[in-house]
Amino acid sequence: MNKGNDMTFTSPRTGLTYTVEPKLNHRVVAFVDGQAVWADESTWNIFLDGKPVQFSLTEAGIPDAIARAEGVHDGVYSSARD
């Protein structure tokens, strides 16, 4: 369901409905001959009951980001010293 540019996503694991808001960012994506190359890129902010819980760098990654917010992980562990 879309509401303006916002969308909703209902988790198949918990049944909770999240609001997903696209955000357009203007940022450096590469350097060519020492010069910054700027581009507009979208990210998606994910909210539950109006509170931010996660984000996704791609639209296809939204279900995985919501799974991480719900405590489902891919089994990869790391620390600041890895």
- pLDDT for 67: 92
Angle at 5 between CA 26 and CA 74, to 5 degrees: 75
Decide if 60 contacts 75 (C-beta within 8 A).
no
Domain of residue 20, residue span: 2-69
pLDDT in tens, 3-49: 456 799 999 989 999 999 999 999 999 999 999 999 999 999 999 99
Q: Judge whether 41 lies within some domain.
A: yes
Sign of the torsion formed by the C-alpha atoms of 24, 27, 29 and 35 = positive
Q: Judge whether 40 lies within some domain.
A: yes
pLDDT in tens, 56-67: 999 999 999 999
- Rounded Cα distance between 3 and 17, Å, is 14
Could you give the number of structural domains in the chain? 1
Read off the tokens for 62.
Answer: 């939204």
Q: Judge whether 78 lies within some domain.
A: no
- pLDDT for 61: 94
Given a cut of 60, whether residue 2 has pLDDT beyond it is no
